[in-house]
Amino acid sequence: MNKKKLIVFVLIIGVAVVLFGKFRLGWFEKAPLTMKEEEPKVVIEYVPQGTLPPEIPIDIPLEEGAPMQRNEIVKSVNGNEIQHVYQFYSKKTVAENFVIYEKYLKDNAWKINSSLKDENSAFLLAKKEDKTGTMQVSVSKNSITGDVTVEINVVLQGEPL
């Protein structure tokens, strides 16, 4: 047998083996893809309009008639973090809201651990001596619509609560 015939013969045998393996033995078949359903990481409990989430102080300044955006309690599934969230649209500027909430925190014995403020956003992080969590107040201005949003978030962390 010459070299050319030998190469053709080996190629034909190779193709036959591959085809036999694919169709008769199931080679090269992919395992079916299955989507593993993920467990939820949080549980959200919606609080009725007109009622604040329990950990948000009832005397915190809120704008009269301001449209509410969020009013909920967010719990991690493992139970080691709970967030009490109230969010609304404000007619005041970012700077005006910053002054209001900074004053409220100071006047009510909250220790401000961190604060940031610029033209379009502001943030206050505070802790109170007799509380187990922290309060975060975020104020932001949407650069497209100009809407100012205020979010008050009391976060409780630790062992399963």
The Cα–Cα gap between 139 and 64 comes to 17
Return the sign of the alpha-carbon dihedral for residues 55, 58, 61, 65. Answer: positive
18 in helix, strand or coil?
helix
Number of folded domains that form the chain: 2
Q: Are residues 86 and 115 in the same domain?
A: yes
Confidence of residue 161 (pLDDT cuts 50, 70, 90): very low
Residue 36 lies in a domain: no
Residue tagged 């300044």 (tokens)? 61
Q: Are residues 19 and 47 in the same domain?
A: no
Residue 121 lies in a domain: yes
- What is the overall mean pLDDT for the chain? 86
Q: Are residues 76 and 109 in the same domain?
A: yes
The Cα–Cα gap between 53 and 38 comes to 28
Eight-class DSSP state of 23:
H
Listed range (20-24, 89-93, 146-150) with the worst mean pLDDT: 20-24
Q: Are residues 58 and 111 in the same domain?
A: yes
Residue 67 lies in a domain: yes
| pLDDT for res 154 | 95
Residue of 140, 138, 136 whose CA lies nearest to 126: 136
Domain boundaries, position 10: 1-31
